[in-house]
């Protein structure tokens, strides 16, 4: 047991690398927040555009959404990271990870919102349109508020899964928490920095996971 | 009472894919009339009504509102619809809004009435249907009859020129029907022009100016309620009425 | 932007011809990994959910902590912990086993959550009817409850499985020679990104039909809420 503590919960090592890990934590948090904000917004915008049912545009959206839901996020990040210089751009791993994960989240979010929009009863549209509200006004004031409410549980779950994927940014040299922890682990020849990082992730995501459990029971839309 | 028609339907046809539901329907609604539409299920009554505010687009023929042809493609239908109220069988209240918000939405967004004034108007509409005290309730806190009365208030708050009712009481438990019919009676006495699709024959006899009998996508017969119910001319009308009165 | 350069770097047939044995080897490893981790994760998940449905307070509390813990930690962190962390402790394990362990911990939690939701969606009357006809609790679970529960959450189960297959790509980080790893080896050998594009296409071909199916199922589920 002592050997275990020495290796995984080494106080000295933890204290020494604590500031580095915290710096990494900020990067992870920043990246996750950026991904969540841009992914949720882009996904909503795509779903709204899709509601207008313009065939060629819809096919594009469906293709985009399907591709980004089929490819592993890590493949997307790496592909973007290695291809971007080819376009004369010089984006950092951070930017590439942000864009890649935002597109992935947006794809899932679009699908969830779209499923919600199609599930709102036709009578809601008719009632609103019969009072003179336009298509867009009906979508904004009558349909989307209902959609957002019933899609909260799947949205939270998906958002958590994809926000956790910020750890993948370590593969393209972003100085986020996992990268920092791995570097520290090599220097210290001790696993305690990884323990710290794992605690960092728990601190970030455990409250969200518990929140999602609560939401699931509050807003249960399933069957 | 002016005699220029409020609503005119001329040679209206409607098909869904290959199914021809309306096969050339003509009728005229005068101001302050209450016109009842009866007929077997599937005969096209709802479709007829929904063509009047262009929820369904006619395949052929025209719909004229106050002399303006509104079934033409370049008409701004949203500005017309605020003058034509509609009440649905399934109420279709917005579940995420209170009764009051259900009513004020179109007042604010379509009529552009400031919030406080639209609230006053919504409250007086709720008073008309006897539900002022329920203004803060959400639809799921109301009975079916109350929901339908709120839906009616949502329509009358827009001060429409004509109101369309599509089986407003069919989804209600029997003991809740009376409350809704009372509200409709009051509306009629206040001079509202109404087109009502319904199976409430008693209400038709008491309140309607005219009754249209529809079958197979055509108006088979139209007359005063006394004539239709006591002295139907057409064989199909007689059959229909005898079947309904069995119940 | 130079189109010819783009073609040369990303859609270069020659480099695919050079490295396709590598890619195929990687694909085979990915498939083996999925065939192993999928069933193990699913069965452990079902077991977790079955135990949860016994409603033993202290046990359920423990299960909830287990599930939430592994849903909170990114799978890559878990993998690195197992693969790079344990050796310092004197436990040297091969990459394949490290992947297996960390993925089982992770996927059993996700499957467990889904199956639990499925079981809870079945009205209590089903269990009562089954028990009153003389079936044991386990029999009732296996023959009456689980079949209905699994059908109710089929979209989530499929979605979980898609996520699991995609997640196997992170095994490349610990140099397990699966599809993404082999594509990157090919990329280094050829000095060309085409092998990476090829791997992406393979993932797309494998998963796109499932993703399409999922869209339909999910829409149907939400419409019948
Ligand atoms: N949106 C639609 N698509 C296809 N068929 C429809 C649609 N709406 C109505 N119908 C068909 O048109 C016929 C008339 O329907 P409806 O006007 O609702 O009759 P009623 O209200 O008299 O019962 C029915 O056969 C119905 O199935
Ligand atoms: Mg009808």
CA B37 to ligand 1 centroid distance, Å: 15
Q: How confident is the model at residue A221 (pLDDT cuts 50, 70, 90)?
A: very low
pTM: 0.86
Indicate yes or no: CB of C222 within 8 angstroms of CB of A72: no
* Helices and strands in chain C: count of H runs, count of E runs: 11, 0
Structural domain boundaries in chain C: 3-223
Q: What pLDDT is stored for residue C225 in this prediction? A: 57
CA torsion through residues B113, B116, B120, B125, sign: positive
State whether CATH 1.10.3720.10 applies to domain C3-223. Answer: yes
pLDDT in tens, B112-132: 999 999 999 999 999 999 999
Tokens, residue A149 = 């409410």
Is B46 close to ligand 1, i.e. is its CB under 6 Å away? yes
| CA A76 to each of CA A68, A102, A172, B103, B230: distance values in angstroms, whole numbers, following the listed order | 8, 11, 11, 48, 77
CB half-sphere exposure, A70, CA atoms < 13 A: 23
Q: What pLDDT is stored for residue C1 in this prediction? A: 58
Of all residues in chain C, the one with the smallest CA distance to A211 is C68
Is B134 close to ligand 1, i.e. is its CB under 6 Å away? no
Name the one residue in this structure whose structure tokens are 């079947």. Answer: B243
Those residues with Cβ within 8 angstroms of residue A102's Cβ, 6 or more apart along the chain or in another chain: A34, A35, A38, A39, A42
Q: What are phi and psi of B87, to 5 degrees?
A: -120, 130
Q: Which of the two residues, B70 and A14, has the higher pLDDT score?
A: B70
pLDDT at B66 over 90: yes
Give the number of other CB atoms < 10 A from CB of residue A25.
Answer: 21
pLDDT in tens, B48-57: 999 999 999 9
Give the number of other CB atoms < 10 A from CB of residue C54.
Answer: 10
What average pLDDT score do residues A42-49 get? 97
Q: What pLDDT is stored for residue A88 in this prediction? A: 82
Q: How confident is the model at residue C10 (pLDDT cuts 50, 70, 90)?
A: confident
Which of B78, B96, B105 is opposite residue A149, by nearest beta carbon? B96
Residue nearest to atom 27 of ligand 1 (CA): B42
Q: How is A111-152 classified by DSSP, letter by letter? A: HHHHHHHHHS-HHHHHHHHHTT--HHHIIIIIIHHHHHHHHH
What average pLDDT score do residues B59-88 get? 94
Residue nearest to atom 4 of ligand 1 (CA): B16
Give the number of other CB atoms < 10 A from CB of residue C138.
Answer: 9
Is B45 close to ligand 1, i.e. is its CB under 6 Å away? yes
Chains that touch C (3 or more CB pairs under 8 A): A
Is B170 close to ligand 1, i.e. is its CB under 6 Å away? no
Crossing angle between the packed helical segments A11-51 and A177-188, to the nearest 10 degrees: 160
Sheet holding B218-223, edge to edge: B84-87, B162-166, B193-197, B34-38, B210-215, B218-223
B56 CA closest ligand 1 atom index: 1
Tokens, residue C165 = 């297959």
CB half-sphere exposure, C65, CA atoms < 13 A: 6
pLDDT in tens, A188-197: 878 888 889 9
Tokens, residue C82 = 């197992």
User: Which H helix or E strand runs over B87?
Assistant: strand B84-87
SS3 B68: strand
Tokens, residue B223 = 């007359």
């Amino acid at each position: 047991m002592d050997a275990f503590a020495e290796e995984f919960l080494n106080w000295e090592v933890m204290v020494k690398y604590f500031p580095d890990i915290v710096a990494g934590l900020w990067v992870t948090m920043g990246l996750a927040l950026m991904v969540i904000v841009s992914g949720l917004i882009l996904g909503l915008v795509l779903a709204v555009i899709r509601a207008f049912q313009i065939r060629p545009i819809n096919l594009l959206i469906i293709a985009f959404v399907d591709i980004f839901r089929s490819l592993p996020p890590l493949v997307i990040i790496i592909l973007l990271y290695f291809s971007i210089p080819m376009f004369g751009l010089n984006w950092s791993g951070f930017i590439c990870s942000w864009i890649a994960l935002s597109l992935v989240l947006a794809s899932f979010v679009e699908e969830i919102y779209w499923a919600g929009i199609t599930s709102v009863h036709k009578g809601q549209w008719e009632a609103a349109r019969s009072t003179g509200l336009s298509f867009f006004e009906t979508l904004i004031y009558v349909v989307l508020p209902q959609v957002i409410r019933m899609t909260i549980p799947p949205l939270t779950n998906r958002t958590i899964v994809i926000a956790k994927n910020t750890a993948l940014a370590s593969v393209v040299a972003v100085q986020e928490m996992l990268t920092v922890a791995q570097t520290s682990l090599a220097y210290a020849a001790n696993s305690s920095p990884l323990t710290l990082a794992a605690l960092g992730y728990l601190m970030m995501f455990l409250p969200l996971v518990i929140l999602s459990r609560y939401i699931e029971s509050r807003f249960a839309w399933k069957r | 009472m002016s005699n220029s028609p409020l609503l005119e339907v001329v040679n209206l046809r409607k098909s869904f894919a290959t199914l021809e539901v309306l096969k050339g329907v003509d009728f005229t609604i005068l101001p302050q009339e209450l016109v009842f539409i009866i007929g077997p299920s599937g005969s096209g009554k709802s479709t007829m009504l929904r063509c009047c505010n262009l929820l369904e687009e006619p395949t052929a023929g025209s719909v004229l509102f106050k002399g303006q042809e509104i079934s033409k493609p370049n008409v701004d239908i949203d500005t017309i619809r605020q003058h034509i109220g509609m009440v649905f069988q399934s109420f279709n209240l917005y579940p995420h809004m209170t009764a009051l918000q259900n009513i004020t939405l179109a007042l604010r967004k379509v009529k552009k009435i400031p919030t406080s004034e639209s609230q006053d108007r919504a409250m007086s509409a709720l008073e008309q249907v006897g539900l002022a005290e329920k203004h803060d309730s959400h639809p799921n806190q109301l009975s079916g009859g109350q929901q339908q009365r709120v839906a009616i208030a949502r329509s009358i708050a827009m001060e429409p020129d004509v109101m369309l009712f599509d089986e407003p009481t069919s989804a209600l438990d029997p003991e809740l029907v009376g409350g809704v019919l009372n509200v409709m009676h009051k509306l009629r006495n206040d001079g509202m022009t109404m087109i009502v699709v319904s199976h409430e024959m008693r209400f038709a006899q008491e309140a309607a100016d005219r009754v249209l009998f529809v079958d197979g996508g055509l108006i088979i017969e139209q007359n005063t309620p006394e004539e239709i119910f006591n002295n139907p001319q057409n064989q199909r009308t007689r059959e229909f009425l005898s079947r309904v009165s069995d119940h | 932007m130079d189109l010819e350069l783009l073609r040369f770097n990303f859609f270069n047939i020659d480099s695919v011809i050079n490295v396709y044995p590598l890619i195929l080897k990687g694909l085979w490893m990915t498939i083996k990994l999925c065939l192993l981790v999928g069933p193990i994760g699913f069965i452990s998940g079902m077991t977790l959910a079955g135990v949860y449905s016994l409603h033993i307070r202290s046990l359920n509390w423990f299960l909830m902590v287990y599930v939430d813990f592994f849903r909170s930690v990114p799978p890559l962190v878990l993998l690195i912990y197992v693969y790079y962390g344990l050796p310092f402790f004197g436990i040297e394990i091969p990459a394949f086993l490290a992947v297996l362990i960390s993925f089982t911990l992770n996927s059993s939690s996700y499957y467990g959550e889904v199956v639990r939701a499925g079981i809870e969606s079945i009205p209590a009357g089903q269990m009562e009817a089954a028990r009153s006809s003389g079936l044991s609790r386990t029999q009732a679970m296996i023959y009456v409850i689980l079949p209905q529960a699994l059908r109710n959450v089929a979209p989530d189960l499929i979605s979980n499985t898609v996520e699991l297959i995609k997640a196997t790509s992170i095994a490349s980080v610990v140099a397990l020679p699966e599809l993404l790893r082999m594509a990157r080896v090919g990329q280094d050998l050829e000095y060309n990104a085409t092998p990476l594009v090829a791997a992406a296409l393979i993932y797309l071909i494998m998963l796109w039909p499932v993703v399409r199916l999922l869209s339909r199922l999910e829409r149907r589920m939400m419409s019948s809420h």
